[in-house]
Amino acid sequence: MAMSWSGTFEKIAEYKFKIPRHYKPGMRVDGIIYADERLLASIKKDNAPEQVANVAFLPGIVKYSLAMPDIHWGYGFSIGGVCATDPASEGVISPGGVGYDINCGVRMLSTSLTLEDIKDRISKIVDALYQNIPSGVGSKGQIRVSYQEEKRVLLEGARWAVSRGFGIKDDLESCEEYGAIEDADPDSVSERAYERGKPQCGTLGSGNHFLEVQVVEDIFDRSIAEKLGLSIGQITVMIHSGSRGFGYQVCDDSLKMMGKCISKYAINVPDRQLACAPINSPEAKAYIGAMRAAANYAWANRQILMHLTRQSFEKVFSKSWQSFGMNLIYDVAHNIAKFEKHMIDGREKTLCIHRKGATRAFGPGNPALPSKYRDIGQPVIIPGDMGTASYLLVGTNQAEEESFASTCHGAGRLKSRHEALRTISFESLIKELKSKGIEVRATGKKTIVEEAPSAYKDVNEVVEVVHQAGLSKKVCRMRPLCVVKG
Amino acid sequence: MMEDFEFFEHTADVGVRVTGKTLNELFANSSKALFKLLVDSPLKQNKKREIQLEAQTLEELLVNWLNELLSIFFAEKFLPLEYNIRIEDNPQSKNIRGVILGEEFNPYENKINMEIKAATYHNLRVEHNRDGYTAEVIFDV
């Protein structure tokens, strides 16, 4: 286990703990972690708070280095970290603040099916999904793309997928950035990334990526749930995946390039993994263009995965997916850097918001939201572990004011993968899941054990913190029925 | 060549501690550890590949080396097995040059054990001691 953190926090509000700027010379701002006392105790068990302090070194950082309650130790940035930098004050962009899996994210679909409709067919559904959706390490997609077509994927994201018949135009309205971020630059992407991207478009991947069929088991905000067409007993689907080997290669290429920027631009950071470059530098421009290309790759990927999910349901029910209303509620990115307008001390500024394991949470009225969500706020999708629950939340105006419109992204890891393998047995885990009525299909036993519920923090607790702290608002909780893992 | 490495735990990732009597051994053993995580018992050596990398520090060279091989594995479908490499540890620059023997291995058709995104710079260490060299690398998985 990683060494524990020996620093001390200052409690500045309910659910808010500060690492003061004087904790470490070189910090430009305070660090702030959103948590309750119980979560804080587990957060201190590894060195993640030190990483929150390290991020505070970044030139041009605005207000504070933030971490959400699902924070755990990553590399460079902690997972669950949020940081805003100001391009007008020599602010930097750091590939470590996005991570290797660029635009790892989640999408959630509603259906008009109820638990009653599917309870005898859950095995059939999970088998169909497992057969139809390429998953596992190094899995290969059914869709072959040429070099020219891959370029289109990088520019057009989910829009490309829809143009190829994987879904419908309406899906795009329910995606962050409408399924494709502007100004991606396919020419800033290495040949190797193209090569690694080619076989993997439309694949789930492994590790914590999954596809789940869920049932709504609790509703916290009736009127918003109603607006989203959700009620208790209703079946939903959640898909968690990212930009696959393409994104890893883009991140690695960029870190190599930016490693040189630390000395070139005389930047002082305590960890090499925090390599960064001034936002207006040519190196940053190249990274931003390539990172956006990878983000679009991920949106295309999740769009294809959703299409394959719809097909699988069609097969099981011998009906079109439209007939059981399999509509996309929303798609969020939780590993990304974006330029957004935020109010800082009464003035609007365009800042670079790094979200590394954190979700955008725009509140009601935000002009970036599609009109159908403008009165309720942005849907925020929080996947939990496969034995507990997942949540649908909405963003708030308070999040816009205090956390650069950011909230948590999941349960957050508690045990290392090794520790999970050592302490949890495959047989007892499957038995436990079965007793809860959850069926699992995966390419490897190991992945299932590594992703066991007890390897994660309690998602209920994490979500309660962001809800109580006002960073987002609980709408409903979904319980897993069946899971496809890599 | 001595094969010497052990894996250690890190919340979301996997770390490896590697030793080698010489730098050449250290780098070869690091790569062996990486591919031990990915692939069970490789078979034949039927391909050759030249490699040449340069960096400012040994740490950086080690991460570049591992990520280069990982990237070659996924992009060129080349699984490295034996290393005929030479590391030059000059004050101004560090470089690695040599030939790798390996086999053609398609990671999209054959089973691989886990997804490794990259070797990271996080808590990266390369140390020279009485018995040779030790390195610690954390892989993002």
pLDDT at A205: 87
β-bridge mates for residue B98, sequence order: B51, B85
User: What is the number of structural domains in chain A?
Assistant: 1
pLDDT given at position A73:
86
* Angle A123-A124-A129 from CA coordinates, rounded to 5°: 100
Across residues A202-229, what is the average pLDDT? 94
Q: Catalytic: A409? A: yes
Pick the closest to residue B115 from B33, B37, B31, B43 (CA basis): B37
Q: For position A1, what pLDDT does the model report?
A: 43
In this predicted structure, what is the pLDDT of residue A295?
98
CB contact under 8 A, A138 and B13: no
The pLDDT score that the predictor gives to residue B11 is 66
Task: Tell me what pLDDT residue B132 has.
Answer: 94
Whether residue A394 is predicted with pLDDT greater than 60 in this model: the reply is: yes
Model confidence at A71: pLDDT above 90: yes
- In this predicted structure, what is the pLDDT of residue B82? 92
Strands A77-85 and A347-356: antiparallel
User: Which residues of chain B have a Cβ shorter than 8 Å from any chain A Cβ?
Assistant: 7-14, 59-60, 64, 67, 71, 74-76, 107-109, 111-115, 117-118, 120-124, 138, 140-141
CA–CA separation, A50 and A227 (whole Å): 42
CB-CB neighbors (< 8 A) of B67 in chain A: 252, 256
* Rounded Cα gap, residues A14 and A288, in angstroms: 36
Q: Using the CB atoms, write b or e for A331-362: b if 16+ within 10 Å.
A: bbbbbbbbebebeeeeeebebbbbbbbbbbbb
Contact check, Cβ <8 Å, B14/A248: no
- Asked if residue B69 lies in contact with residue B34, where contact means CB atoms within 8 angstroms, the answer is yes
Least confident range of A2-6, A400-404, B54-58? A2-6
CB atoms within 10 A of CB A217: 14
Closest CA to B87 of B77, B78, B97, B79: B97
Q: Which residue in B108, B118, B121 is closest to A272 by CB distance?
A: B121
Q: What are phi and psi of A395, to 5 degrees?
A: -70, 165
The answer as to whether A3 is a domain residue is no
The span from the CA of A443 to the CA of A240, in Å, is: 16
- What's the rounded mean pLDDT across residues A42-47? 89
pLDDT tens digit string along A110-130?
999 999 999 999 999 999 999
User: What value does the mean pLDDT take over residues A140-148?
Assistant: 85
Nearest 5°: CA angle at A9, between A5 and A14?
130
- Tens digit of each residue's pLDDT (9 = 90 or more) over B83-115: 999 999 999 889 999 999 999 999 988 888 888
pLDDT tens sequence across A207-220? 889 999 999 999 99
Q: Which architecture characterizes domain B5-140 according to CATH?
A: 3-Layer(bab) Sandwich (3.55)
CB distance B11–A72 less than 8 Å? yes
Residues A367-377 have pLDDT tens digits of 999 999 999 99
Q: Where are the domains of chain B?
A: 5-140
Q: Please indicate, yes or no, if residue A346 is contained in any of the structural domains.
A: yes
Domain of A24 in residue numbering reads as: 10-485
Residue A49, pLDDT > 90, answer yes
Give, rounded to a whole angstrom, the gap between the first and last alpha carbons of chain B. Answer: 28
Of residues B115 and A109, the one with the higher pLDDT is A109
ipTM score of complex: 0.85
Q: What is the pLDDT of residue A182?
A: 97
A445 touches B: beta carbon within 8 Å: no
From A137-146, A367-376, B55-64, the region with the lowest mean pLDDT: A137-146
Bigger pLDDT: A417 vs A153: A153
Average pLDDT of chain A, as a whole number:
94
CATH assignment at residue A71 = 3.90.1860.10
Among the partner-chain residues A73, A100, A139, the one whose CB lies closest to the CB of B117 is A100
pLDDT at B44 over 90: no
pLDDT in the model for residue B1: 45
- What tokens appear for A225 in the block? 């749930």
What average pLDDT score do residues A48-65 get?
A: 97
Predicted confidence at residue A2, as pLDDT, reads 53
pLDDT grade for B122, boundaries at 50, 70 and 90: confident
Range with lowest mean pLDDT among A25-39, A78-92, A157-171, A443-457: A443-457
pLDDT of residue B2 exceeding 80: no
Q: List, as one string, the DSSP characters of B14-54.
A: EEEEEEESSHHHHHHHHHHHHHHHH-SS-----EEEEEEEE
